[in-house]
Structure 1
Amino acid sequence: MDKSRFSLLLLEPGEIYFEDFSCTLSDKESVKVDSARQGWLKLCSKSLVFEPRDWAYPLVKLQFKDCDALSVVKSHDDSNYIIKIKIKQFAEMLVDNVLAPYKFIYEKKDFFIFFHFASAEECLSQMEQLQRASTLHAPEHNSMVATILHSRYMRMVFDPVMMDDFTEEIICELQAEKISPLVRHQGKLALTSTTIYFQPFSNVESSPVLKLKLSHLKRLYKRRFLLRQVGLEIYSSEESSVPHIYLTFQSERARDRIYKILEDSPYVNLERAHAEEITLQWQNGIVSNYDYLMYLNCLADRSKNDLTQYPVFPWVVADYTSEVLDLNKVETFRDISKPMGALNPDRLEKLKERYDEMCDPKFLYGSHYSAPGLVLFYLVRKYPQYMLCLQNGRFDHPDRMFNSVKDVYNNCLRNMSDFKELVPEFYDTDSKGDFLVNRYEIDFGERHDGTKVNNVALPPWASSPEDFVVKLREALESEYISRHLHLWIDLIFGYKQRGEEAVKANNVFHHVCYEGAVDLERVYDMNDRHALEVQIMEFGQVPKQLFTKPHVRKIIQRVPAPMCCVEQNAYSYEMECVDVIRLHKEAVTCAVRQGTRVISVGKDGALKVYDTTQRKQIRSVILSTTPLSSCVMVGDNMVAVGSWDNEIYLYDVEYGRVVESFRAHDDSVSCLLWLDKERLLISGGCDGVVRVWSHVGHVGQALRGLRVELDHDVKVTTVTFRRRRNEIDLITGTSDGEVFIWDVQTRELTKICAHISAVSSACLVLSGDRVVTASGDGVMNVTDLSVSHSVYQKHFPAAVSSLCWDGSSVLWVGGGGGDGNGALLQWNLVTVTQLSEIKAHDDSINSIHFDEGSKTLITASKDKTIKIWQLKKVS
């Protein structure tokens, strides 16, 4: 068979494979004895590995540290020179070609290597150099091997014959490492205008060069590797010969250089998924809890290629004894608002006593929730070769292995040094729980009671590994976990991860495992640096902190929604312009619809009433010599109008007369809002004040009905509201980009810095949990009111002047489009996607009004026109 059995996983983690030699290995000074085996000798930084050509024989591993002597001798039967190795002990691997613990043979023995083509003297020189390195302490050994590797790298030249096109020019050429679990494969990266080439130093890869077409690239992620910002993870499309690769470079500068070239390349078309967009989709139920956690892990530098930063998932189920898993009982679930170490009050008390007695930097937990050993503890049946690599050819003691789900969970609750969380495989229904099954039939040994270690024992409620994973996934997606998952995210990825909040949450780990706690580039002492690297490798790392404020919670439907609720919300409107109204001499600032009438005001100081049935103007009145800013209906026939002359006018549409006017502000009235249920009129002014008026419509009573005054430092540009049970919150936007949330009853204030320029419009969306604001610099912002924190931001190419929501999931945006300020965009806020864009007006759209009764949209523009759009809902 031509396929090699040798793998870098047969070496120690981090050990380097240099090259191989065709040879014959014998325990006699002759190639003619029965013990002689033809094969390949692998020269590695800590060992020699002989791979026999005949698969019936095991691989032999000779550690340099166990060598008593290396020498060149002349063979007895011919004139060839051979290398003689005197060794104290050695290991046999893949005995009978079965994946099993290495067979260690503790006896002195001589091995003779007959090289078919290479010079014995030159090979001996390299071996002696590596043997000398093996006698040094680990830091000095690593330094010497790095020097040898660098020397080889400097002699290595990228082979242009490997290119797809001989006319390609190399833009840059760098030393790099290809990373896979426990393995770092050195090589040279060459980047051309169309292709990434990775040429390995050694021949262990199936191909002499790996090729990634830039046109196939889909996603790029900068990665932190062993606490250094030197990693780059690349995902390509399915048709790519290399769909995924994880590379590290010698410095952050080199990594960033490659990243910038790829990002700027015209051949690269990356999938853009902003964190805020995914968060909003998760909140709306479009993205599952599982997929959202995988996404957050990816953002936080967690990758399945790096066992020190493997994706981390929570224990969510606490019941491993019942016959049936009841997801309607709170007792079924683990409290995910607390770290694993804080779930047992008695244990936590002991840990805190120890914490209080420590010197700074203190830590509460002496082991981490995710580290290479913990990951492989769960996955040893799926990836036994990883565990053998990590533990130098041995599996763990049978009693300490992952034998029972219930026992492991109980141990995580009680043991003073066990606080581990889970890995994504526990919830991955595609893999069907294969990590729980001893599918390779490996002999892991016997436990203390004589039972053989085989498959993992499952709780009574799981009939099979596949059923176990399916039910855990259901638990992860359940209503209880969905309501509380943001609290666990706060602990692992968010504001409770570090600092004073972590102390309050009993979530403090050893300081070395936090990003930024140690700068390895500034640790010059080799012993200190090596000690830190070993600690990082063995202890694990806290994910990159993604959030510094409380994470938004998932929106749970108050009424159980059918399974098709997402599809029901995934609709849009076909829009047909059925009428164009040209009545104003200047810009139309606001227009509303009441029945068959369209009422509008403009900068010409005029109020116009248009009958959509007769298709003609039926009322026209000049209310002021100054522009009119806004209008709202305060009844079936009464309209309130805000003016730049500081007045509010009340006009009776039915009788065509001004009922009343009163001085509402000390400067122009900029915006109006009517609360029909409470019969309240809210006005915002350029004087920075929002006023709440009652008794509107009672002649002479308006000023007496002033209920509330809310002061701002600058001009109020827009106002909207939300109801909380029997309470009202007013949400105001200002000219300096700030958004204020006022509790009308208590006057309590929450301030959000949402924009850097004036807020042009605001509207409440999605069950009153979020507010959308827009600004003149083309930014649309979605703020979650439960945590007063932005969850999504969209930058448009043009200014956004107005917003309107249909009451379900569709938002209309005036401006912002590629056609300029006159564009009308249609967005679905549930799926967070733009549905359409039309050129609605020739200038900015100042007002958008949705009329549910007639299923029409009214747009008013600076171009002096009003348009009526007939809407038809389509799936």
Structure 2
Amino acid sequence: MLFSSVCRSFSRDKSLKITSSAFVEMKKDNVISPYGFQKGEQSHVFCLNYVTVEDCLPLLCQLHRASTLPPADQNSMITAIVQSRQSRVKFNTSWLDDLYEKIELECQADKITPLVTNPGRVMVTTSRLYFQPYNNAETTTLIKVRLKDIQSMTKRRFLLKQIGLEIICRESLMSTSVLSCKSPAERDNLHDKIMAQKDVSVESSEQQDMTLKWQNGVISNYDYLMYLNSAADRSFYDLTQYPVMPWVIQDFTSTRLDLENPETFRDLSKPIGALSEERLARMKERYDDMPEPKFLYGAHYSTPGYVLFYLSRLAPEYVLCLQNGKFDQPDRMFNSLWELWQNCLHGAADFKELIPEFYESNGNFMVNTGVCNFGVRQDGRPVGNVELPPWAEDSNAFIRKMREALECDYVSKQIHNWIDLIFGYKQRGEEAEKADNVFYYMTYEGAVDLDSITDPNERACIEIQIMEFGQVPKQLFTTPHPVRHGARIEHPISGSHSVAAANGTVKDQSCLVEKDCDKENMSETNKVLPRKVDFSSLNEVLRFSLHKQAITDVKLCLKRKMAFSVSQDGLFKMYSLEEQRQLRSVPLTSMALSSCVVLPDSNTVIVGSWDNNVYFYSVEYGHVLDTLQAHDDAISCITWKNDMLFTASWDSSVKVWQFTVPLSQNDFSAAEFLLQLDHDYSISDVAVDDSCATMVSATKEGQIYVWDLLTYSLNNMFHAHQGKINSIQLLSDRRQIISCGEDRYLRVLDLDSGTASFVKDMKENVLSLAVCYQHVVVGLDGGQIQVWDMERAILLNTCQAHTGGVTCLHISDDHTLVSGSMDRSVCLWRPAFR
């Protein structure tokens, strides 16, 4: 506003008359409409309610003086005026609710709402969080939140810097708000101070299991994409980083939406800008001639303007605020889904993706309620409701079918490609260039260091560019995103279990060992129906201690009703489950035994030892059939699959052995060396899939190697843990690896990319793993056994199994669990059945 004169009213110094040569009319007659820019001298009288003219006149005169300066100097003077005023404002402690509140922190922060950054003072006390704005733009002069009402706090990115803090409260004036501090250190200090107060009890923000839940079909595509948006610092409360969702449909002309036809869907492996080959070719030609930093797309796929383009009918006042008091040209507004898609497909600078409202709303953002007059299009039609495709009878049906498309099988199998582009490894760098996914450099986090820019005018220009031209989400994945498996799978289990529990004595004689029965003579009414095993309840049925040192491995043999165990004491033990006594104790070597395998015929047990040898022991004849000098260092693990023996060693190799006569027959033949798979580090564990096509090996340095056993070639290698990997399991049907290590983490990794879909800090060393369908049983250093449902990524059960670390676990064919421990005991557990 240009001042030509300023004069005081004679009424108690509470009124001010301003005469100007130009003014702007907003919301005239209380109707939402484009601003009126009026020229010509006119006087305006302002009545002051809480201050006198003396209080505000000096500041008005300073601002008037600044308005006469050149633009660069004008911005500098205004910045200096604002900073000077804000530095003099302190929090008004008379507004504290409780005299006994202790002040923990006072700092400056901005409250972020769509298109508005409101500065103020933040105070943290022992019981409340206060925000006192510098101005009266808020609905109240003070916002206060009881700390016990804070539901969650999340550190957010703002202006491509980690300075934001989103606070969600259960009930308060600030039910959800984003605060922005001056620096990451100030933001972190504010976060830590709030979290340190005893009244704060926030919900856990650790959602690293969401990828696994999504893979297993426990959560929807929509929910998973919204989680990724949140993790990438995108929020409904920040239009500059509004959640972004994909176009999945490209058919906007058919009368029926066919979700079984691949032609219905957009290619999710390509960014919007690369869907048209002709348009992409033009942009690549320009890209080749462009100086650094190069970019393919000068426009972004998500900006405040694009968000309000979609929501213009719902939030017209925001549109006017963003577009300097004007609505867009009627023909350029969001008028038709088909026209919008065609423009995104072929337009020279239109690469818009969608927003969540296209998949989760009542569709009212596409309906013109008549509150605003957006103008008349060139064909004479006024801007009304958005024209829907023929397959949608109304906006509600459109949203419902869009959601159906997002959740359908085709999209579920392809959506990981879009995640790679927006949140993943194709977002930036060389992979982004290969995927034709390169945007203007200023849209990427870390591309501009605003703190290093001292010129306030230059800084303000860059901030405006960042806010208005789009921001690439925070990168969440640096390797290919895992593929979704599909809907949850039920695993019917036939038959019944056998072994149950006792602690030196039998606790349940009836279920210790099931007697054989003639199932053919069972009547139809007495036949055992298929039941599902439930590891959420484990009952101890038997416990015994035979060894002198820690148990290293234990296996059950149902055919012989025996338990076989090996230990660091060098002894191989055989225990009768029926008679509950030791049958044999075999001193195989003076060094520790590391592992054992019972062959399918139940006549032979193979034992690995730290003396570099593998022993073949005959259960039937009670002596060692053969000793295989397998490695140059200790045997750490042995595995048997499809008549092939895999031995792993501290000598950094895995060897594969074959037999001329299968060991399942009575005649024993010596093992013949087939090949050796070399590693860079000592091997701690191996796992082989049932088809003997893939092997994964884990090392003492935290690496996982993925081997193709059909070609005996290395497919992949990735660093999964810090330090030794204690145990590893392979779920070949889901293309997943489960691993645990001395870094205390339990991980579920994608077999092809190594991307973690589940990461859990177990708070103590995880020593052992066993898998049964979707259940993963883990043995901890403190003696606990935990059961996890990896389909839903939830903890089902924790029990104190031993007084020492659980070093080994094995689940038999009848789903009996056996555990061995550093306390030298072996324990059998029976799960529940449904």
Q: What's the TM-score once normalised by structure 1's chain length?
A: 0.85
**Equivalent AA in structure 1 for residue 479 of structure 2:** K
| Structure 1 residues 766 and 427: alpha-carbon distance in aligned structure 2, compared to 1, 3 A threshold | farther
| Matched residue, 1:345 | 277
CA contact (8 A) 1:691 1:708 kept: yes
Secondary structure of the equivalent of 2:693?
strand
| Matched residue, 2:427 | 497
* Residue ranges of structure 1 left out of the alignment (5+ in a row): 1-63, 563-567
1:768 shift after superposition:
4.3
**Equivalent AA in structure 1 for residue 686 of structure 2:** V
| Matched residue, 1:682 | 646
**Equivalent AA in structure 1 for residue 195 of structure 2:** E
**Whole-Å Cα distance in 2 between the matches of residues 759 and 261 of structure 1?**
37
Return the match for 1:365 from 277, 293, 297.
297
| Matched residue, 1:460 | 390
**Whole-Å Cα distance in 1 between the matches of residues 59 and 566 of structure 2?**
89
The answer to whether 1:800 aligns with 2:766 is yes
**Whole-Å Cα distance in 2 between the matches of residues 844 and 82 of structure 1?**
79
Return the match for 1:556 from 476, 482, 486.
486
1:737 shift after superposition:
2.1
Return the match for 2:115 from 174, 182, 204.
182
| Structure 1 residues 272 and 119: alpha-carbon distance in aligned structure 2, compared to 1, 3 A threshold | closer
Secondary structure of the equivalent of 2:203?
coil
Return the match for 1:744 from 709, 715, 725.
709
The answer to whether 1:871 aligns with 2:831 is yes
**Whole-Å Cα distance in 1 between the matches of residues 440 and 653 of structure 2?**
51
**Equivalent AA in structure 2 for residue 468 of structure 1:** F
**Whole-Å Cα distance in 2 between the matches of residues 260 and 327 of structure 1?**
49
The answer to whether 1:293 aligns with 2:225 is yes
**Whole-Å Cα distance in 2 between the matches of residues 589 and 352 of structure 1?**
60
**Whole-Å Cα distance in 2 between the matches of residues 79 and 639 of structure 1?**
103
Return the match for 1:836 from 776, 780, 797.
797
1:257-298 CA-to-partner distances (Å, cap 9, x unmatched) read 212222333333333343532222222222322122222222
| Structure 1 residues 161 and 622: alpha-carbon distance in aligned structure 2, compared to 1, 3 A threshold | same
Return the match for 1:433 from 353, 356, 363.
363
1:82 shift after superposition:
6.4
* Residue ranges of structure 2 left out of the alignment (5+ in a row): 493-530
| Structure 1 residues 125 and 160: alpha-carbon distance in aligned structure 2, compared to 1, 3 A threshold | closer
| Matched residue, 1:721 | 688
Return the match for 1:586 from 549, 561, 569.
549
Secondary structure of the equivalent of 2:477?
coil
1:81 shift after superposition:
9.6
Return the match for 1:223 from 156, 162, 169.
156
Secondary structure of the equivalent of 1:108?
strand
**Equivalent AA in structure 2 for residue 685 of structure 1:** S
Secondary structure of the equivalent of 1:88?
strand
Return the match for 1:409 from 337, 341, 345.
341
| Structure 1 residues 100 and 830: alpha-carbon distance in aligned structure 2, compared to 1, 3 A threshold | same
1:619 shift after superposition:
3.5
Alignment of 1:24-173 (within 5 A): 64-65=1-2, 67=3, 69-72=4-7, 83-113=16-46, 119-120=52-53, 123-173=56-106
Deviates more, 1:151-160 or 1:630-639: 151-160
Return the match for 1:787 from 753, 757, 774.
753
Secondary structure of the equivalent of 2:253?
coil
**Whole-Å Cα distance in 2 between the matches of residues 181 and 387 of structure 1?**
11
CA contact (8 A) 2:537 2:797 kept: no
**Whole-Å Cα distance in 2 between the matches of residues 161 and 115 of structure 1?**
23
Return the match for 1:520 from 428, 435, 450.
450
CA contact (8 A) 1:708 1:744 kept: no
1:142 shift after superposition:
3.5
1:342 shift after superposition:
0.6
Alignment of 1:596-607 (within 5 A): 596-607=561-572
1:496-543 CA-to-partner distances (Å, cap 9, x unmatched) read 112222221111111112111111221223332232223223211112
| Matched residue, 2:777 | 812
| Structure 1 residues 571 and 105: alpha-carbon distance in aligned structure 2, compared to 1, 3 A threshold | farther
**Equivalent AA in structure 2 for residue 612 of structure 1:** L
**Whole-Å Cα distance in 2 between the matches of residues 614 and 560 of structure 1?**
37
1:744 shift after superposition:
2.2
The answer to whether 1:668 aligns with 2:634 is yes
**Whole-Å Cα distance in 2 between the matches of residues 758 and 118 of structure 1?**
69
Q: What's the TM-score once normalised by structure 2's chain length?
A: 0.89
Alignment of 1:255-334 (within 5 A): 255-274=187-206, 276-334=208-266
The answer to whether 1:654 aligns with 2:620 is yes
**Whole-Å Cα distance in 1 between the matches of residues 280 and 458 of structure 2?**
32
Secondary structure of the equivalent of 1:771?
strand
When the two chains are superposed, the root-mean-square deviation of aligned CA atoms in Å is 2.6
The answer to whether 1:827 aligns with 2:762 is no
**Whole-Å Cα distance in 1 between the matches of residues 462 and 567 of structure 2?**
69
CA contact (8 A) 1:318 1:333 kept: yes
| Structure 1 residues 702 and 270: alpha-carbon distance in aligned structure 2, compared to 1, 3 A threshold | farther
| Matched residue, 1:395 | 327
Secondary structure of the equivalent of 2:208?
helix
1:121 shift after superposition:
5.8
1:546 shift after superposition:
1.9
Deviates more, 1:372-381 or 1:705-714: 705-714
1:146 shift after superposition:
2.8
Secondary structure of the equivalent of 1:347?
helix
| Matched residue, 2:527 | none
CA contact (8 A) 1:584 1:864 kept: yes
1:89-113 CA-to-partner distances (Å, cap 9, x unmatched) read 3333333322222344444323345
1:475 shift after superposition:
1.2
| Matched residue, 1:252 | 184
Structure with larger RCO (C-alpha < 8 A, sep 6+): 2
Deviates more, 1:112-121 or 1:357-366: 112-121
**Whole-Å Cα distance in 2 between the matches of residues 470 and 516 of structure 1?**
39
**Whole-Å Cα distance in 2 between the matches of residues 526 and 569 of structure 1?**
67
Deviates more, 1:166-175 or 1:447-456: 166-175
**Whole-Å Cα distance in 1 between the matches of residues 424 and 72 of structure 2?**
35
**Whole-Å Cα distance in 2 between the matches of residues 348 and 214 of structure 1?**
52
CA contact (8 A) 1:88 1:108 kept: yes
Kindly, what percent of the aligned residue pairs are identical?
43
Equivalences, count: 788
| Matched residue, 2:719 | 753
1:411 shift after superposition:
0.5
The answer to whether 1:632 aligns with 2:592 is no
CA contact (8 A) 1:227 1:519 kept: no
The answer to whether 1:530 aligns with 2:498 is no
CA contact (8 A) 1:766 1:809 kept: no
CA contact (8 A) 1:569 1:809 kept: no
| Matched residue, 2:674 | 707
| Matched residue, 1:858 | 818
| Matched residue, 2:506 | none
1:339-386 CA-to-partner distances (Å, cap 9, x unmatched) read 111100111111111112222222111211111111110001111110
Secondary structure of the equivalent of 2:686?
strand
1:175-198 CA-to-partner distances (Å, cap 9, x unmatched) read 221110011222211111221101
CA contact (8 A) 1:380 1:435 kept: yes
CA contact (8 A) 2:14 2:49 kept: no
CA contact (8 A) 2:534 2:831 kept: no
1:241 shift after superposition:
4.5
CA contact (8 A) 2:575 2:583 kept: yes
**Equivalent AA in structure 1 for residue 544 of structure 2:** I
**Equivalent AA in structure 2 for residue 375 of structure 1:** V
Secondary structure of the equivalent of 1:694?
strand
**Equivalent AA in structure 2 for residue 687 of structure 1:** D
**Equivalent AA in structure 2 for residue 867 of structure 1:** C
| Matched residue, 1:379 | 311
Deviates more, 1:664-673 or 1:822-831: 664-673
